[in-house]
Amino acid sequence: KAGVTQTPRYLIKTRGQQVTLSCSPISGHRSVSWYQQTPGQGLQFLFEYFSETQRNKGNFPGRFSGRQFSNSRSEMNVSTLELGDSALYLCASSLAEGYTEAFFGQGTRLTVV
């Protein structure tokens, strides 16, 4: 069974640009969550999508957005990049039903210069 796949693995962008990250969940998983990991702030929840709808949102500015497609694949977008957006972005998928757990991808390492 394939795990959670995130692309690309590494990305370098310039301040002011925008970026789109992709996450393919485990087959059958309908919930996709995104997290930002930085040395200063640790692991922080960005948002969760379930059945193409944003179900929960963390405390991040509107520059951070996402969407989920009918096949449960998800993308997150960051517009007007700032140096502080440099981070490891992790995606997690889960069944979103019953007692289960979230499975994480290896992340996308974004560097803003």
Partner 1 sequence: AQKVTQAQTEISVVEKEDVTLDCVYETRDTTYYLFWYKQPPSGELVFLIRRNSFDEQNEISGRYSWNFQKSTSSFNFTITASQVVDSAVYFCALSEDPSGSRLTFGEGTQLTVNP
Binding interface with partner 1 (CB under 8 A): 3-4, 31, 33, 35, 42-45, 48, 50, 55-56, 88, 90, 92, 94-107, 109
Three-state helix/strand/coil letters over 50-83: ECCEEEEECCCCCCEEEEECCCCCEEEEECCCCH
d(CA 22, CA 34): 10
Please say which residue, 35 or 112, places its beta carbon nearer to partner 1.
35
Do residues 8 and 105 touch, judged by C-beta distance below 8 A? no
d(CA 20, CA 28): 23
Please say which residue, 52 or 80, places its beta carbon nearer to partner 1.
52
Neighbouring C-beta atoms of residue 27, cutoff 10 Å: 10
Rounded least distance, CB 96 to partner 1, Å: 5
Please say which residue, 17 or 27, places its beta carbon nearer to partner 1.
27
Please say which residue, 44 or 86, places its beta carbon nearer to partner 1.
44
Rounded least distance, CB 80 to partner 1, Å: 26
Rounded least distance, CB 43 to partner 1, Å: 4
